[in-house]
Structure 1
Amino acid sequence: MILPDGCSDIPAGKVVAIVTHLEMTARPAPRPDPPGGWSLRRVEMPPLDWFRDLYRRVGEEWLWVSRIRMANAELASHLHSPRLEVYALVDAGGEEEGLLELDFREPGQCEIVMFGITAKLVGTGAGRWLMNRALEIAWARPIERLWLHTCTFDHPAALAFYQRSGFRACRRQIEVTDDPRLDGTVPRDVAKHVPLIE
């Protein structure tokens, strides 16, 4: 369905995001790492409780809910795929404060499925450091395309950050979904940048 030009009403209880897909088809020039004591830990066969905890801490403010709503069997099948890799960014104190998920299941491609850091690391350079690791890992494989998507629910600097990292926009979508703050999936007081309309 193609939305008509102009404004379209959205029912109360729904939220709407503009989703932008971005891609790169060649490895970009490396960017310098910012100073910081971070490390990256690959998590083989991620435990579901562990994954959901880190996913919530990174993404709850940005209405990341797909993995919270996913049934355990479906989430386990996804996370435990042999061609999917999950990493945690670990800070200097040994705490896991960032999430990176790379999907190599499509031949010749890699999708950055999840990418984010917790609020306490925003503005520290940890996001740049994590992206540098993501690019190194992905382009060390025989891929021709690396892609991801972001949306207007995400941090307002996310789109520009991805573009500075070498991604270019290639597709746009509108996503309409039930507001997860109304059914208890996430707390009612998160995502103040997305008005709550009951």
Structure 2
Amino acid sequence: MSITSSRNPSVPEGYSPVTAGQLATVVTCLDMTERPVPGAVALPPGVTLEHEAAPAPAAYRQLYRLVGEDWLWSSRLVMGDDELIAILHDPRVEVHVLRSGGAPAGILELDFREPDACEIAFFGIAPAFTGSGLGRHMMHRALELAWSRPIARLWLHTCHLDHPAALAFYQRTGFRPYARMVEVLDDPRLSGILPLTAAPHIPLLR
């Protein structure tokens, strides 16, 4: 579902306290409405991007943790199997796994459930491959896969909990910011969804 911009009078200007045990982050929504000029999409030798049809929840969560634990990804970890399967096995949702030398290196999830649109629901590289350039190659493939469908809009969102270079990377790719909002959520490390050692750069407030 698309995120639209609206002014929320419950978020006043200035500082607002955040309850201990919660996180607050600024979310930026970005989109593109025209297919970009094709770029180089060839992956390096030994690197593949494989479509995983109807992945099993356990295998999906393992990859999701590998890529997203440092950035406190947790939304798919709190879902029950039935809810997660309903998403992953929907033919309008595509999960692609980036592999390097056979080892999982990244995840790309494309969601075509909104008419005439595609959301890059999840996009990330495993920590061992950060800075390798594989993210750039995977994004080229993501654009090619998304725009191979009859869509009018491709969109995604990122936040301050993601890699600090993520927003600039998406803008260089051709995405344009169109909305900003504040998200407040329970810290998944304190509920045991993620280990206390996850994302050490983000302080724990108990």
TM-score (structure 2 length as normaliser): 0.92
Displacement, 1:68?
0.5
Aligned with residue 107 of structure 2, among 88, 92, 99: 99
Give, in whole Å, the separation in 2 of the partners of 1:71 and 1:10: 28
C-alpha distance after superposition, 1:20-41 (max 9, x if no partner): 1100000112333587231110
Cα contact 1:58–1:116 (8 A) shared by 2 = yes
Displacement, 1:149?
0.4
Going from structure 1 to structure 2, the CA distance change for 1:35 and 1:112 (only over 3 Å counts) comes to: closer
Displacement, 1:194?
1.7
Correspondence for 1:65 = 74
Q: State the SS of the aligned residue for 1:66.
A: coil
Correspondence for 2:202 = 194
Cα contact 1:100–1:115 (8 A) shared by 2 = yes
Correspondence for 1:120 = 128
Spell out structure 1 runs of 4+ moving beyond 4 A.
none
Correspondence for 2:94 = 85
Cα contact 1:46–1:80 (8 A) shared by 2 = yes
Q: State the SS of the aligned residue for 2:76.
A: helix
TM-score (structure 1 length as normaliser): 0.96
Cα contact 1:100–1:134 (8 A) shared by 2 = yes
Number of residue pairs matched by the alignment: 197
1:41 has 2:81 as partner: no
Structure 1 residues without counterparts, runs of 5 or longer: none
Structure 2 residues without counterparts, runs of 5 or longer: 1-7
Give, in whole Å, the separation in 1 of the partners of 2:201 and 2:161: 8
Give, in whole Å, the separation in 1 of the partners of 2:97 and 2:112: 18
Give, in whole Å, the separation in 2 of the partners of 1:173 and 1:87: 28
Greater displacement, 171-180 / 34-43 = 34-43
Identity of aligned residues (%): 52
Give, in whole Å, the separation in 2 of the partners of 1:151 and 1:72: 26
Aligned with residue 50 of structure 1, among 37, 42, 59: 59
Give, in whole Å, the separation in 1 of the partners of 2:43 and 2:110: 24
Cα contact 2:41–2:141 (8 A) shared by 1 = no
Superposed, 1:156-175 pairs within 5 Å as 156-175=164-183
Give, in whole Å, the separation in 2 of the partners of 1:168 and 1:146: 10
Q: State the SS of the aligned residue for 1:183.
A: coil
- The AA in structure 1 aligned to 2:114 is E
C-alpha distance after superposition, 1:98-149 (max 9, x if no partner): 1010011111100000100101111111000100000000011100000000
C-alpha distance after superposition, 1:35-81 (max 9, x if no partner): 72311100001111110000000000000000001111100101111
Give, in whole Å, the separation in 2 of the partners of 1:149 and 1:35: 25
Correspondence for 2:84 = 75
